[in-house]
Amino acid sequence: MREQYWPGTLMGLGIFIALASLFTVAPWTLIAPDLLFRVFLVLCFAGNLLPYLRSGLWLGMERLEWFLFNLLAVGPIGTSLLLWVNFLVHDTPTITEHDVGRAEVGRNIVIYHFKDHYLEDHMHARSTYRDWNAFVGYRVRVSEAVGLFGWTVVLRKEPIGPGTR
């Protein structure tokens, strides 16, 4: 019997796709981390609930390979796909403006703390790259929309100049 390489390739790609989505689209999605983790776990283990004879064996995989395929390919790629579709297919954006109360300046990013506590529960949605140079006393225009699956996504953040004092 000829060995098949596509399950291992998809498992390797699944890890990299999940990492890429974790650092790109996941911070822009306003979803509770525990809910995102539960969605990930369901997608990782749902395939193992299917009868092995009609799923894993039919695809030519052994039991352990079928388990690892669901864990390392189906779960990460499925979760990433859900996040990206939710981000790319969304409602009409709403634009709001917020005054920056304080900013935590790191090595590469700046995390804003708005005076009205906007996005207080979502630290990564308030962060941006350091080259903005918009700090305390500035206003930031935030564009957000409701995605296809109901999770709000931050589409854009841009400084618009000195804010109200």
pLDDT at 15: 95
Task: Note whether residue 1 is domain-resident.
Answer: no
99 shares a domain with 79: no
Q: Do 84 and 27 lie in a common domain?
A: yes
Q: Which residue has the tokens 């509770």?
A: 32
Q: Measured between alpha carbons, how far is 156 from 144 in angstroms, rounded to an integer?
A: 7
Contact 101, 83 (CB under 8 A): no
For residues 59 and 107, membership in a common domain is answered with no
**Inside any domain, residue 101:** yes
Do residues 122 and 143 share a domain?
Answer: yes
Residues 84 and 126 in one domain: no
CA–CA separation, 72 vs 153, rounded Å?
A: 26
Same domain (yes/no): 83, 34: yes
DSSP 48: G
Same domain, 80 and 135: no
Please tell me the predicted confidence (pLDDT) of residue 134.
54
**Can you read off the two tokens belonging to residue 33?**
């981390």
Kindly give, in sequence order, each residue whose CB lies less than 8 Å from that of residue 37, ignoring residues fewer than 6 positions away.
Answer: none
57 and 123 share one domain: no
65 and 16 housed in the same domain: yes
Express each pLDDT in 129-159 by its tens digit.
765 555 667 788 899 999 999 999 999 888 7
**pLDDT at position 19:** 96
Q: Report the C-alpha gap between 43 and 148 in whole angstroms.
A: 18
Same domain, residue pair 71 and 10: yes
Asked if 43 and 78 count as a contact pair (C-beta separation under 8 A), the reply is yes
83 in the same domain as 10: yes
Question: Residue 70: what are its φ and ψ, rounded to 5°?
Answer: -65, -40
Number of domains in the chain: 2
User: What pTM was estimated for this model as a whole?
Assistant: 0.84
Question: Which tokens is 108 given?
Answer: 């590469």
- pLDDT recorded at residue 132: 53
Instruction: Identify the domain boundary among 88, 117, 141.
Output: 88
| Poorest-pLDDT segment among 71-75, 78-82, 104-108 | 104-108
Do 56 and 123 share a domain, yes or no?
Answer: no
Q: Residue 150 belongs to what domain range?
A: 94-162
The answer to whether 36 and 26 are in contact (CB under 8 A) is yes
Residues 6+ away with beta carbon under 8 Å from 36: 26, 29, 79
51, 70, 88 — which closes off a domain? 88
